[in-house]
Chains A and B, each alone.
Chain A
Amino acid sequence: MERRIKVLVAKPGLDGHDRGAKVVASALTDAGMEVIYTGLHQTPEKIVRTAIEEDVDAIGLSILSGAHMTIFPKVLKLLKDNKREDILLFGGGIIPKEDMIELEKMGVGKLFGPGSSTKEVVDYLKNWFQNKK
């Protein structure tokens, strides 16, 4: 049986709206993926608990608040504590170049800037999944 890519899309932090996260969630769904959408105000603890219970392949976080340097490493650490480093962590938001490089060094996947298209996200996930198998 063909296995579908399962992705958790969440918007951590207290700021703003979840429009971007919703757009990505429905684009991934249209591309045939199974998307768990949890909306706003997700803490790293909730995100990782959801990822574990749902056994997702990847977690996509939309971060606009500038809290990326605390949230991404925290989620990575919790995944590691739970022996789920196999789950891909990627994201989107307004993230300065040097932060991006640092996060990628820590093991975060691709980070999509404001101008990115949803197709780029879909292609990225499909490629990653293909190579993982």
Chain B
Amino acid sequence: MDIENIFQKFQKRDKNSLSRMITLVDNEDPYGIEFLKRFYTKRNDSTVRIGITGPPGVGKSSLLNKLVENFAKNYSFTSIVAVDPSSPFTGGSLLGDRLRMDNIYKFENLFTRSVASRGSLGGLSSSTENILQVLEIFKSDIILVETVGVGQSELDVMEVTDMVIVVLVPESGDSIQALKSGIMEIGDIFVVNKSDREGSERVVQYLNSSLKMKKEGKDFIPPVISVSAKEGKNIDKLYVEIENVKNFFIEKGIIARKKSLRKKKEVRDILRDIFIKSIDIELKNMENKKDLSPYEIAEKIFQKIDFKISEDIWKEG
């Protein structure tokens, strides 16, 4: 495979090549890793990654379907990554977010990719970061990342993105306890969707007052907006809020700080991968001496272990 050639096709805006490169990094293929290394400096360093999360069925995809019109008109290239869980039993995954996203076909400067969360229980697959990097090398201005907010994935989305939109519905007011746990901490913008139904004002008020309490003394309090993706209500207003928060975060250096933290975490993850894979190779070759304790075996391995550089590790698969 000729990764130089693929990069040349990136510069000609060839989506076929983009898509195939995403598959390679998603599968942790050595060529994919090589590509990320070789063209790291070619990425768009000012891409803004926006997470959109919330409980199942609150209308995240429907909302994105509306918002993409604004993004497509205001930026030269926008990408959407929609993550859905894989079944822990079969490994299969039903990726249904496109069902609600008919507007994406109206614009040529949009690229949408569905991703299965794979191994990581409920969270984002470890390759999600790599996929986002490929999209940055393709010079996306904005990357929108949809994840279903159950458990780990809402924390993960905060780590891989620069700002997070939390989507709720009027009925979320009934499970206010659940809101308190975690979800209040991760949102930079709160959206109450389905405001065409009863009760959204109450949830907006509740969110506003508890955010005010939590963020007392801080110079940023997340805005709360009620919208209806179905009726197209307040979508433009939401878009303006997104731009405001984004610009505020850029000005205050918040996004730069997040990027730098993220990079450190990624280095740590890669090192951990290298260590674990090297250890696994040693373990495979280890004779299982019945009378040696696990500690002694570990010490023996530690003394002679030869940590492989990443290329060899990825090839071992």
Contacts and interface: CB of A to CB of B under 8 A. Distances in A.
B113 A53 contact: yes
B92 A28 contact: yes
B112 A34 contact: no
Interface in A32-75: 32-39, 45-46, 49-50, 52-55
Given A29-B87, A29-B93, A29-B94, A39 B99 contact: yes
A101 interface: no
A31 B90 CA distance: 7
A4 B98 CA distance: 20
Interface string B102-117: 0001000001111010
B132 interface: no
Interface in B287-317: 317
B265 to A, nearest CB: 22
A53 B111 contact: yes
Contacts of A49: 105
A43 to B, nearest CB: 8
B90 A30 contact: yes
Contacts of B113: 53-54
A26 interface: yes
Contacts, number: 67
A1 B28 contact: yes
Interface residue tally on B, bucketed by range: 20 to 34
A125 interface: no
Given A1-B317, A34-B92, A55 B98 contact: no
Most interface-central of B16, B113, B114 (chain A CB within 10 A): B114
Contacts of A117: none
A25 interface: yes
Contact of B27 (A3, A29, A32, A37): A3
A133 interface: no
DSSP class of A's interface residues: helix, strand, loop or mixed?
mixed
Interface in B88-102: 90-96, 98-99
Nearest to B86: A34
Contacts of B92: 4, 28-35
A83 B105 CA distance: 20
Contacts of B87: 29-30
A55 B111 CA distance: 12
Contacts of B91: 4, 32
A37 B95 contact: yes
B60 to A, nearest CB: 16
B13 interface: no
Nearest to B96: A37
Interface in B215-231: none
B30 to A, nearest CB: 11
B208 interface: no
The 7 tightest CB contacts between A and B, nearest first, are A29-B92, A55-B19, A32-B92, A29-B94, A55-B23, A32-B90, A39-B99
21 contacts: A3-B27, A4-B91, A4-B116, A25-B94, A29-B90, A29-B93, A30-B87, A30-B90, A35-B92, A36-B98, A36-B114, A37-B94, A37-B95, A38-B99, A46-B105, A52-B15, A52-B16, A52-B19, A53-B15, A53-B19, A84-B16
